[in-house]
Structure 1
Amino acid sequence: MALTVDFDAEELWLAEDPANAARPGVLSQARYGAEIGVPRLLDMLDRLGVPATFFVCGRDAERYPSVMESVAARGHEIGHHGHTHRSPHLMTREEEAQELARGLAVLGEFTDRVAGYRSPSWDLSPHTLDLLVEHGFGYSSNLMDAVVPYRHPGHDLVEIPVHWTLDDAPHFWFDATSWDRTIRSAREVAEVWGEEASAIHDIGGLVTLTVHPQLIGRPGRLRMLEEFLTGVRAYDGGGGGGVWFATCGEVADTVRRAPAGTGAGSGAGFAGARS
């Protein structure tokens, strides 16, 4: 299991609509995530001994350097989530390259190496994979075409697959502009996550759980997340073996060490890559 935290604070709302810069009520959600959600999440991960990968927008790292220092000091991985929260498919190749470089420069102030990239909204351009290789990344975590990590054909990158089912945003996101989203209860989301995680466990795959501090950081949801992670840890070794909690970087390194042809396409391959 790879617990991933998309720490997009104000940049999320500014990318949605630049006019949000003048809306303190909207931006207060971002501030809550950074100032309350992340510290409480870090405390919970300490209690459980679970590592996480924090994908961070460069500009949000600039806004909250003390939060970033705390993430790094607790031993969690820091990954790239854009410099701004703009999707690569809306940029030219040059703009996308600049986004990667600027984000790397900022995140490099808090970690020795940024190995992984997660795009805002999990969307890529025709140039993204080439640019990731050019900028020295080791893995991408954006695509929904597998339940095990795999090597990208034609690119020296490992993919850490994701899915909306295992993301908190589709379940908890609420936009006050339209009022067309129903906020699900933490109990409902725990049930959805539990069904998917259990099934992936049984085939020896990878559960990539994605949470956002301004969403998961609410007290009731954090309690649910702690209970969920505790339950996952209790999975027995019957179906797909025991549960390994790892950062995305650790997963990618494991796939790279495996012989070609393993670690992709089947749970047995990923389990073999870990042994």
Structure 2
Amino acid sequence: MHLTSKGFPLFLTFDLDAETMWTARDAGYAKRPILMSQGAYGWKVGTDRILDLLKRHELRTTFFVPGLIVDQRPELMDRILVGGHEIAHHSYSHRWILNLSHDEEREEMERGFEAIKRVAGYAPRGWRSPAAELSDISMQLMLDYGFDYSSNFFDDDSPYLHHVDGKPTKLVELPFRWVLDDAPFFQYSIVLPGRTMQAPSAMLEAWQLELDVLHAERRMMMVGMHPQIIGQPSRLWALERLIEHAKSKGDIWMGRCDEMVADMRPRLESADP
């Protein structure tokens, strides 16, 4: 039995960090136009290429977007929404949470939350932290803002309900792992960590094998991608092959995080001790 009524949940998610991938590390990078152009590729080219791919395959997915990018690119947000996709919370400026005071973290949460409400017309339902970090108040902030799901932890291959300060909650975790992120395969910039560039076939082989095992075990699969990375032609080829591989199984649901979480929550609540 699958976790959802529509089959095995395969989450294809996109973190539209754009220039904030650089400026969050060092505000001075904003004065380096070639660095900024690498981030701009995400909103100028990559996202629309992804939207075209998703439209061809009749898929609706989730974009995690920093509030700053939401504010700067309203026309692009409109195109994402017209495609039926979800816009979820990814901080405001992509600053490292561990470098922030509690007040600064709350401000990042509030500004990003309000930016999405203005553009999308709804409060964001999910939250993914920048750079996979949480502080000692992050979990409570997610509860305070009424999020339905988090996609931050690396500790499971199945969704689960969080317990915060020893108390059960209705907050669903959609865990992932670095092998299911495009950045370790492709992120290359002279000032960013990693600096790797593998063949698209390497990523495709890993992701197809992950899908085969996770599908056989009736778990879930969370893929995290970045339009400035996966939106390049050869990498998008690999993503399309993954989508085709998933479709060939006949019982996989590729959809929006909010909708899949709403579908799976009753099963999670009945199983939670």
Specify which structure has the bigger relative contact order, considering alpha-carbon pairs within 8 angstroms and separated by 6 or more residues.
2
User: 2: distance between equivalents of 1:62 and 1:11?
Assistant: 13
Query: How many matched pairs?
Result: 259
Aligned to 1:102: 111
Q: Provide the TM-score with structure 2 as the length reference.
A: 0.90
User: 2: distance between equivalents of 1:104 and 1:178?
Assistant: 27
1:125: how far off? 0.9
- Higher mean alpha-carbon deviation, 146-155 vs 158-167, is at 146-155
The question of 1:20 aligning with 2:29 is answered: yes
Q: Provide the TM-score with structure 1 as the length reference.
A: 0.90
Q: Percent identity?
A: 35
Aligned to 2:240: 226
Runs of 4+ in structure 1 displaced over 4 angstroms? none
1:255: how far off? 3.1
Cα distance, 1:100–1:182 mapped onto 2, change above 3 Å: closer
Aligned to 2:5: none
Match of 2:127 among 81, 99, 117: 117
User: 2: distance between equivalents of 1:33 and 1:196?
Assistant: 26
1:56: how far off? 0.2
1:169: how far off? 0.4
The question of 1:50 aligning with 2:59 is answered: yes
User: 1: distance between equivalents of 2:234 and 2:184?
Assistant: 17
Conserved 8 A contact 1:72-1:110: no
Report the residue type matching 2:181 in the other structure: D
Conserved 8 A contact 2:230-2:236: yes
Aligned to 1:65: 74
Match of 2:89 among 67, 73, 80: 80
More strand by proportion, 1 or 2? 2
Unpaired runs of 5+ residues, structure 2, are 1-9
- Higher mean alpha-carbon deviation, 41-50 vs 180-189, is at 180-189
Conserved 8 A contact 2:187-2:194: no
The question of 1:244 aligning with 2:263 is answered: no
Unpaired runs of 5+ residues, structure 1, are 237-241, 266-275
User: 1: distance between equivalents of 2:192 and 2:147?
Assistant: 38
Cα distance, 1:145–1:24 mapped onto 2, change above 3 Å: same
The question of 1:150 aligning with 2:160 is answered: yes
C-alpha distance after superposition, 1:188-210 (max 9, x if no partner): 11011111111111101111111
User: 1: distance between equivalents of 2:146 and 2:194?
Assistant: 41
CA RMSD of aligned residues (A): 1.7
Conserved 8 A contact 1:151-1:255: no
